[in-house]
Structure 1
Amino acid sequence: MGVELKAEALGRAAGRDKQIAVPVRPVLRKGVRLRRSGDALYLDGADKRQAFTGRFAREHLGRLVDACDGGTTRAGIAAKVGLDEAVVLKALALLWASGALEEGAPSGAPPSDAPSSDAPLSDAPSSVSPELACLLSRLGNSTGVNPSWTDAAARLDRTTVHLAGDRDLVAATARCLDGVVEVVDDLDDLPLDTGALVVFFETRRSRPHLADLRDRCWLERRPLLRVRTDATSMTLGPYVDPTFTPCLECGTAPETHEEPEGYGEPQAYEGYGEPQAYEGYEEPETYEAAADGHALVAGLVAHHVLALSSRSIRTYLPLDSGIVDLTTLATRYRPSATRPGCPTCSFSKGTTAAVAPDSAVYEASIALPVRRFLDTNGHLAHFQSKNMNLQWQFRDWPSCPRVPLPAADVTRLAGAPAPAEDAPGGVGPSDIALLLAVAFGIRERSDGWVQRWTAAGGNIGSATAYLVSRDPSVLPVGGYAYREKDHDLAQLTAEALPGEAPLLLVVAANLKKMGSKYGTFGLRLSFCDGGVALSSARKVADRLNLPYRLVTDWDDRALTTYLGLSAAEEPLTAVMEVG
């Protein structure tokens, strides 16, 4: 199933979200076209195929794109096509997000020899090959970093690369990068700036030279990309930058130690064949890579160097390494994580661990890169229809009896809290209703948005509140789930849970819902949501002078069994005793 974006949602967000940079003087990207087929317009040639549907697309979108010449502003385009400027902004936002448009070049910039040239920026190369200009333009939408292809060309013009290691691979890669970036033969000629990169090709015969180069790059704060090859596979990475990545020894530690069971699943990269498991590095007795093998490795390295430098093409660098099967091109990804005690890149002291612990590997696998390597196009995932609809999805527990709650009286939270000696001794239903509503509930639903009392990652609401009652004066004894959509409780069980606290608030993560948008990163956001919700619950309890105690060591198995939860799909993130 495809991904759907709606002009209305994007246009509404474009006015307040600075990451949605709709072009001021839009122009159609090079190498793309809009093609009519039936009632829809199709975008061909961009980073992904798009279809525009609806009456506006049929009647106006073609004329609107024709008016985007790279020199006319949005107001001028609106006047040309006879549409309201606000409507034009929404349409342009959708076209930009789909990869159809980019920013036109400023007037007075030097010309390019690229066909249908929109002039490059003043600091871009004075002459760019038509093929490269077309590539940077039509694939520039994949990252959302460059307003125009000329910005990417300017980045490449400022990039200098030093290739070292295996001579044959150095020569093959230099040929691929010729005319794209500057390649220097001597490391001393490589400038000390953000546009410089050292690439080392590690093979059996070149490996002895890696240690000295590695140490010098770390000492001089130079970025280093290690490429390891044998007759059957290539490991592209790790990328090592002393300003934000682990050192090379930590990044390559998993290659010399057995990976834990279940560590990472193989994936296909951009359609390059079916995924296969990587069985570990096997050093051949002799290195006998054929000329076409050199060309393949060089081409893959050049692709990712181009991606790192131009920021127009996606790459798993700098945070992950890619292990590529050179026969099938199936690729598996591995993050770099600092080993505790590493004398080079760890803050901890003591014996250096053989490999990083699972927790550090997980954090490394979901980490965001530093700002200059961030792909801003990923922000648009928030506005995909399937993700926006998640805020409207609520669990129901249809077979469970309902227990009504009083309306949440938020006026009780105004003003100063009552002195503790004047507060009632017990917990009442109105207290529980207010606490659950503010920490987990819905404030209002209008204008296409669900507004919550407490912030939630992606406005999804991954934190689910469960209440365990041991005090029949507050609630009949048993376990309950809070239904935030209707502000009531679903009784899951009438059995008693051993313990002394009158009430137990248990927070669980709806991992399936969160993971559908964020993948493995959703686990971290779910724990964050649980902590934020519990903080709100504590603030309400403080305001109402309700006694409570945070539980820092709970029995996962006992609570999940009692509430009928799956620890894999709905892990517990927080527990608090109330009353």
Structure 2
Amino acid sequence: MVAEMKAEQIGRAARTDMQLTVPVRPVLRRGVRLRRAGDSVVLDGADRGQAFSGAFAREGLVPLAEACDGTRDHAALANELGLDESAVYKCLALLWTAGVIEEAVTGEEPRVEPELAVFLSRLGNSTGANPSWADAAARLARRPVRLEGDPSLVAAARRALRGVCRMVTDPAGPAEAPDELTVFFETASSAPLLAAAGERCERDGRPLLRVRADGGTVVVGPYVDPSITPCLDCGRHGEAEPSGEPPEHLHDLVAGLASHHVTALVARATSTHLPIDSSVIDLATLATTYLPAVTRPGCPKCSWTRGPVAPDAPAGAVYEASVAIPPRAFLAPKDHQAHYYATNLRLQSQFKDWPSRAHTPLPVPDLSVLAGTERHDPSRGGVPLTLPALALVLKIAFGIKDDETTPERVKRWTAAAGNIGCTTAYVVLRDERVTRPGVYAYAEGSHTLVAVSDTVPPGDSPCDIVVTGDLKKVMTKYGTFGFRLVFLDSGCGLASAREVARHLGLRFAPTSDWDDDALARVLGSSPADEPVVAVAALGGTA
């Protein structure tokens, strides 16, 4: 899938979004180049292919990149090229997000091999955590890495990391720094030594990366830090028994895989699945499976609960761990740029419409009834549900602000993850005084009720609100993390609906249990694509 980003959009965002930065004295990253290719300008050498289109890209982008030599700030670049400074800023923001430029090195450059400097600079765009390659090199020089475990793999890793970072190979020696990283290579023969290494790191509060290799696989992880991750026992719980020693001809491959992730952890210049997941790599096919580290309830080292240790972590905990945001120290600022891809921005204005079904216009919400600070006094009894009241509840909880919404940005009344709107509200109406009984969908874009079914499921309230998650829409941007977001959005929607209902004097009662299959049949939805995530009763007596 092509990810499109516009200079105008990312330049405007960089002015206000603190997670986006633009180099003050930009310099072209080492190992990359821009070149004309037909009507486009192509970026070679970066971590992913990029193409720039448009009139300015064809005529001005290459000269701008060539002028980025680290000696000029934005004003000087604008003066040099005869451009407006604001236009230069927008273009630099786009070039930074694409991995073309970085901040110029201040002071003396680190003394490292040219190949390492190019590696850190060219692929440093993978996280955007370092202003320049020199910052990544400084991280490597500052933080020691202790190699322990299988002697052959330790020797191979020492060769791979020579000249890259500070290495300690004496397992019995004291830590050289509080943040020293221990890498333990576990094989069938070195496995008995792992427990002692883990206890030593736990006692000293230092992180440990376990790398396990056998006859058929290599497992990179878990990464164990007592302050942010589950313990070593929970992190490797449920692993298959090792199948012999790793073949000698694969020692360099195992060490190379480990060295890549060690460099990524320390320098933050390349991508890694750590510290959240472990990766299980098949040494014959290189097929990779990612497994999250999950605390087992009752674990005496990393669980808050007390009692016997659970044999396995609950499925919900495994899912939460698999989609967890990395700890602050390991956040990848570049991941935040996904919010500004054109395809993701367009999601916010993509509304379900049900064009072949009958639409019933809802009354224009009277927002003035919410302006006062006085709420309905419950002691006076409940207020009957009316169509205007239902329209107001739906508008505030799930609708958009028509007067403030533009083609570029949708404004909603209630918080929504990524401003996407990944929930759909259905209305089950039983009271004919409100409108014709039936099951309706709320079309947020047109503020209408869409007829879904004339079959009304049994219930005691005049109206039920059923909230479903639009997984196809939200997972376009967020992947499996989107499943979690639909629950967060539904919670926000119900909270807003409750506040409006209480203000109006309407009964509002969330439902704690429901029949998913029965509701799916009534709504004509698929639980796999559109699961029911919340149900609440609206109106009636308490």
**Which of 428, 445, 453 is the aligned partner of 2:413?**
453
Pairs within 5 Å for 1:202-221: 202-221=186-205
What is aligned with 2:227? Answer: 243
SS at match of 2:238: helix
- The question of whether the paired residues in 1 share the 8 Å contact of 2:383 and 2:504 is answered with no
Between the two proteins, the alignment pairs up a number of residues equal to 535
**Which of 334, 337, 361 is the aligned partner of 2:291?**
334
What is aligned with 1:528? Answer: 488
In the alignment, is residue 305 of structure 1 matched against residue 262 of structure 2? Answer: yes
What is the CA-CA distance between 1:186 and the residue it aligns to? 2.3
What is the CA-CA distance between 1:424 and the residue it aligns to? 7.3
* Structure 1 residues 509-565: Cα deviation after superposition (integer angstroms, max 9, x where no partner): 111111111011001111000000110111111111112222112222222211112
- The question of whether the paired residues in 2 share the 8 Å contact of 1:102 and 1:148 is answered with yes
What is the CA-CA distance between 1:282 and the residue it aligns to? 4.4
- The question of whether the paired residues in 2 share the 8 Å contact of 1:417 and 1:545 is answered with no
What is aligned with 2:383? Answer: 425
What is the CA-CA distance between 1:283 and the residue it aligns to? 2.0
- The question of whether the paired residues in 2 share the 8 Å contact of 1:441 and 1:484 is answered with yes
**Which of 362, 366, 370 is the aligned partner of 1:413?**
370
What is the CA-CA distance between 1:216 and the residue it aligns to? 1.6
- The question of whether the paired residues in 2 share the 8 Å contact of 1:408 and 1:430 is answered with yes
What is aligned with 2:517? Answer: 557
Tell me, in whole angstroms, the C-alpha distance in 1 between the residues paired with 2:356 and 2:207. Answer: 59
- The question of whether the paired residues in 2 share the 8 Å contact of 1:33 and 1:43 is answered with yes
What is aligned with 2:178? Answer: 193
Which letter does structure 1 place at the counterpart of 2:498?
R
SS at match of 1:56: helix
Q: Please, what is the CA RMSD of the aligned residues? A: 1.4
- The question of whether the paired residues in 1 share the 8 Å contact of 2:382 and 2:507 is answered with no
In the alignment, is residue 176 of structure 1 matched against residue 160 of structure 2? Answer: yes
**Which of 382, 387, 400 is the aligned partner of 1:442?**
400
Tell me, in whole angstroms, the C-alpha distance in 1 between the residues paired with 2:521 and 2:178. Answer: 57
Tell me, in whole angstroms, the C-alpha distance in 2 between the residues paired with 1:244 and 1:428. Answer: 51
What is the CA-CA distance between 1:101 and the residue it aligns to? 0.5
What is aligned with 2:56? Answer: 56
What is aligned with 1:149? Answer: 133
Tell me, in whole angstroms, the C-alpha distance in 2 between the residues paired with 1:422 and 1:281. Answer: 68
What is aligned with 1:76? Answer: 76
SS at match of 2:383: coil
Tell me, in whole angstroms, the C-alpha distance in 1 between the residues paired with 2:412 and 2:118. Answer: 45
What is the CA-CA distance between 1:192 and the residue it aligns to? 4.1
**Which of 339, 345, 364 is the aligned partner of 1:388?**
345
Deviates most, 515-524 or 75-84 = 75-84
What is aligned with 1:117? Answer: none
Tell me, in whole angstroms, the C-alpha distance in 2 between the residues paired with 1:416 and 1:369. Answer: 41
Tell me, in whole angstroms, the C-alpha distance in 2 between the residues paired with 1:552 and 1:471. Answer: 23
In the alignment, is residue 46 of structure 1 matched against residue 46 of structure 2? Answer: yes
Which letter does structure 1 place at the counterpart of 2:231?
C
- The question of whether the paired residues in 2 share the 8 Å contact of 1:161 and 1:190 is answered with no
Which letter does structure 2 place at the counterpart of 1:345?
C
Tell me, in whole angstroms, the C-alpha distance in 2 between the residues paired with 1:310 and 1:418. Answer: 56
* Structure 1 residues 432-487: Cα deviation after superposition (integer angstroms, max 9, x where no partner): 11111111111032161011111100100011110000000002110000000000
SS at match of 1:218: helix
In the alignment, is residue 578 of structure 1 matched against residue 535 of structure 2? Answer: no
Tell me, in whole angstroms, the C-alpha distance in 2 between the residues paired with 1:174 and 1:29. Answer: 28
Which letter does structure 2 place at the counterpart of 1:520?
T
Which letter does structure 2 place at the counterpart of 1:190?
A
In the alignment, is residue 365 of structure 1 matched against residue 322 of structure 2? Answer: yes
Tell me, in whole angstroms, the C-alpha distance in 2 between the residues paired with 1:66 and 1:213. Answer: 50
Which letter does structure 2 place at the counterpart of 1:17?
D
Q: Structure 1: 5+ residue runs without aligned partners?
A: 111-119, 256-279
Tell me, in whole angstroms, the C-alpha distance in 2 between the residues paired with 1:33 and 1:198. Answer: 37
* Structure 1 residues 26-55: Cα deviation after superposition (integer angstroms, max 9, x where no partner): 111001000111111100001111000011
What is the CA-CA distance between 1:3 and the residue it aligns to? 1.0
Q: TM-score, normalised by structure 2?
A: 0.96
Tell me, in whole angstroms, the C-alpha distance in 2 between the residues paired with 1:497 and 1:447. Answer: 38
Q: Structure 2: 5+ residue runs without aligned partners?
A: none
SS at match of 1:452: coil
Tell me, in whole angstroms, the C-alpha distance in 2 between the residues paired with 1:186 and 1:574. Answer: 56
In the alignment, is residue 463 of structure 1 matched against residue 447 of structure 2? Answer: no
SS at match of 1:442: coil
**Which of 232, 247, 260 is the aligned partner of 1:289?**
247
What is aligned with 2:151? Answer: 167
What is the CA-CA distance between 1:281 and the residue it aligns to? 4.3
Which letter does structure 1 place at the counterpart of 2:463?
L
What is the CA-CA distance between 1:288 and the residue it aligns to? 5.9
Tell me, in whole angstroms, the C-alpha distance in 2 between the residues paired with 1:288 and 1:501. Answer: 65
Moved over 3 A (4+): 421-424
Tell me, in whole angstroms, the C-alpha distance in 1 between the residues paired with 2:85 and 2:243. Answer: 63
* Structure 1 residues 195-216: Cα deviation after superposition (integer angstroms, max 9, x where no partner): x111111111111111111112
Deviates most, 60-69 or 451-460 = 60-69
In the alignment, is residue 516 of structure 1 matched against residue 476 of structure 2? Answer: yes
- The question of whether the paired residues in 2 share the 8 Å contact of 1:549 and 1:576 is answered with yes
- The question of whether the paired residues in 2 share the 8 Å contact of 1:192 and 1:222 is answered with no
Percent identity between the aligned chains? 51
Tell me, in whole angstroms, the C-alpha distance in 2 between the residues paired with 1:367 and 1:80. Answer: 46
* Structure 1 residues 322-378: Cα deviation after superposition (integer angstroms, max 9, x where no partner): 111112222111010001111111111111112211111111101111111111110
Tell me, in whole angstroms, the C-alpha distance in 2 between the residues paired with 1:171 and 1:524. Answer: 44
Tell me, in whole angstroms, the C-alpha distance in 2 between the residues paired with 1:82 and 1:543. Answer: 59
Tell me, in whole angstroms, the C-alpha distance in 2 between the residues paired with 1:366 and 1:288. Answer: 31
Tell me, in whole angstroms, the C-alpha distance in 2 between the residues paired with 1:419 and 1:335. Answer: 49
Tell me, in whole angstroms, the C-alpha distance in 1 between the residues paired with 2:267 and 2:296. Answer: 31
Shift of the 129–578 alpha-carbon distance from structure 1 to 2, 3 Å rule, reads same
Tell me, in whole angstroms, the C-alpha distance in 1 between the residues paired with 2:376 and 2:496. Answer: 20
What is the CA-CA distance between 1:80 and the residue it aligns to? 1.2
What is aligned with 1:270? Answer: none
Which letter does structure 1 place at the counterpart of 2:247?
A
SS at match of 2:411: strand
Tell me, in whole angstroms, the C-alpha distance in 2 between the residues paired with 1:157 and 1:447. Answer: 49
Tell me, in whole angstroms, the C-alpha distance in 1 between the residues paired with 2:526 and 2:208. Answer: 44
What is aligned with 2:434? Answer: 474
Tell me, in whole angstroms, the C-alpha distance in 2 between the residues paired with 1:440 and 1:556. Answer: 21
**Which of 385, 394, 400 is the aligned partner of 2:357?**
400
In the alignment, is residue 506 of structure 1 matched against residue 491 of structure 2? Answer: no
Pairs within 5 Å for 1:98-137: 98-106=98-106, 109-110=107-108, 120=109, 125=110, 127-137=111-121
Which letter does structure 2 place at the counterpart of 1:513?
K
- The question of whether the paired residues in 1 share the 8 Å contact of 2:187 and 2:246 is answered with no
- The question of whether the paired residues in 2 share the 8 Å contact of 1:253 and 1:354 is answered with no
What is the CA-CA distance between 1:21 and the residue it aligns to? 0.3
- The question of whether the paired residues in 2 share the 8 Å contact of 1:250 and 1:355 is answered with no
Tell me, in whole angstroms, the C-alpha distance in 2 between the residues paired with 1:288 and 1:46. Answer: 34
* Structure 1 residues 118-168: Cα deviation after superposition (integer angstroms, max 9, x where no partner): xx3xxxx3x111100000001011101001001101100112111111111
